[in-house]
Amino acid sequence: MGVERVLKNMLDGTLTITVNGQGVKVVVEDQGICAVYTADTVEEALKKASTFDPMKLSSKEE
C-alpha cells in the first residue's frame, strides 16, 4: 500500500528510504517540493509518506 500510494501521487519525483539505529526516514521529493517523514518502522514511515501530495502542498504555499 504505502510505496504504491506515494508513487501514485508523484509526477516525476524520488523516494528515499533510510534505515538506521534511530528509526526510519522517508524523503519524498517531487516538483521541487520535499517532505520528510520519520517513524520507528518502515511500514509506519511509508504510511505517513502516503499522505504526500505535491499538488496540495504547493497550493498551500501560494
The confidence score (pLDDT) of residue 37 equals 94
- Separation CA 17–CA 23 (nearest Å): 11
> Average pLDDT for residues 4-15, to the nearest whole number?
75
Grid coordinates given for 47: 504510511
pTM: 0.73
Check: CB of residue 34 under 8 Å from CB of residue 28: yes
Tell me: the pLDDT tens digits for 24-56? 999 998 888 889 999 999 889 988 988 888 777
